[in-house]
Amino acid sequence: MRSSRIILLVAFTIFASCSDDKSISEREYGGVPYPYRHYDDAVNFLYGVNADHPDITSVEYIGTSVRGQAIAALVISSGETEGKPRVRLTGSIHGNEYISGEILFKFIDYLMSEYGINLRITELLEERCIVIIPILNPDGHESGRRYNANNVDLNRNFPFYRDSPRSSYQGKAAFDQPESRAMRDYSGKDFHLSITFHSGEVIVNLPFDYGKSRDILPNENRLLWELGRIYADSGTVHIFKENPDIYRYADRGVINGGDWYVVDGSLQDWSYMEAGCIDMTVEVARSSPPTQEGIEEVFLYNRDSLLAYIEAAGNGVWGKVIDENRDPIEGVSIKRTGVEDFAVYTDRNGYFMRLLETDCSTTYLHFFKEGYTAKSIEVHNKSEIPVTLER
């Protein structure tokens, strides 16, 4: 779990092929306003990182948009990756919320510039697997629209968890849009902690979105709030007071989503309910700043929060599940006693990571997969747990 290798998967969306090498200030981009990057700038950034770090980077493709624009991943690896906490950071699920993706490009630059120099960053990248998806909605981003090219809000295109009819802007069914399917298929059940970034407000929004906390509350609400507090208190809480109306309803900038307003089909609710990944929605600015200085300011508000949040992915227990022949078992469901709405799963190599509150010294985990004898084990926080299941 604490090996010397890091994969930093930097996933971001590519809109069209490169046509020239002009800088962003020398072009007009239709829906993409200056100073935010368009397709060729994203491509140049991707291959620029790869050129500067050829020993630890490679390029992957994870899916396409409605218009066939490729969603790409920059893989950064410096050693063994098995058993590490995996963190996913996503921006621009709403295409016109440019700052939500731009701060992630800046975060990538920051990590790359500090790796091998800054001890905190170096250790972080050696002990985590990070996936950054700065632009999930390339068609909306290119046209300056919230929705994708089918006029669907991607953050309403995940499963519903209450009896509610779908509107046309939510899609006809969950995952009927290629971008949300790409997120589902790429993420699988492999991530442990994540954030989806937005703009329009400044707030840390926790599951559940689909109901108010007085009616429906996550079993892991205490853990969610600890993680929300870590993010808010590590660098951004001082700007929450800019909107007293929102600040009044939140607790120092943190809120369960439905207590702000109710949303069906959000990425964060699906991540929690089905993917075994605790996801938060972080609104980083009330609007996208029109200057590089403004973008830098928003990034700096969030930089230390991002670092603390990624570090928090190591708060829990980890291990490997094998059978009596010592072969790894994939897809084992792991639940904490008393928690029915959240499970993590072993990956194809049998590894798992289960987040816990920092003040939880011991708890019981229940390991289950059809065809094997289930097992409950007492575990101690921040420790490695080897598990054997028999057929």
**Predicted pLDDT at 26:** 33
**pLDDT above 70 (res 282):** yes
Task: Of 295, 296, 301, 264, give the one whose Cα is nearest residue 282.
Answer: 301
**154, 93 in Cβ contact below 8 A?**
yes
**Predicted pLDDT at 256:** 96
**pLDDT above 80 (res 364):** yes
**pLDDT above 60 (res 4):** no
Number of other CB atoms surrounding residue 12 within 10 Å: 27
Least confident of 40-49, 63-72, 132-141, 237-246: 237-246
Task: Of 230, 248, 238, give the one whose Cα is nearest residue 315.
Answer: 230
Q: What percent of the chain has pLDDT over 90?
A: 68
CA dist 384 to 314, 366, 381, Å?
11, 15, 9
Query: Which tens digit of pLDDT belongs to each residue from 308-350?
Result: 999 999 999 999 999 999 999 999 999 999 999 999 999 999 9
**Predicted pLDDT at 185:** 95
**pLDDT above 60 (res 45):** yes
Task: Of 316, 381, 334, 309, give the one whose Cα is nearest residue 87.
Answer: 309
Helix or strand holding residue 379 (H, E): strand 375-380
Distance, CA of 103 to chain centre: 14
318/82: higher pLDDT: 318
Q: Rounded to whole angstroms, how far apart are CA atoms 91 and 81?
A: 24
In the predicted model, what is the mean pLDDT of residues 187-209?
A: 94
Angle 344-155-333 from CA coordinates, rounded to 5°: 10
Catalogue all structural domains in the chain, each as residue range(s) with its CATH number. 7-312 (3.40.630.10), 317-388 (2.60.40.1120)
**pLDDT above 60 (res 239):** no
In the predicted model, what is the mean pLDDT of residues 208-219?
A: 97
**pLDDT above 70 (res 277):** yes
48/104: higher pLDDT: 104
125/194: higher pLDDT: 194
**Predicted pLDDT at 7:** 43
Q: What is the pLDDT confidence band of residue 17, given thresholds at 50, 70 and 90? A: very low
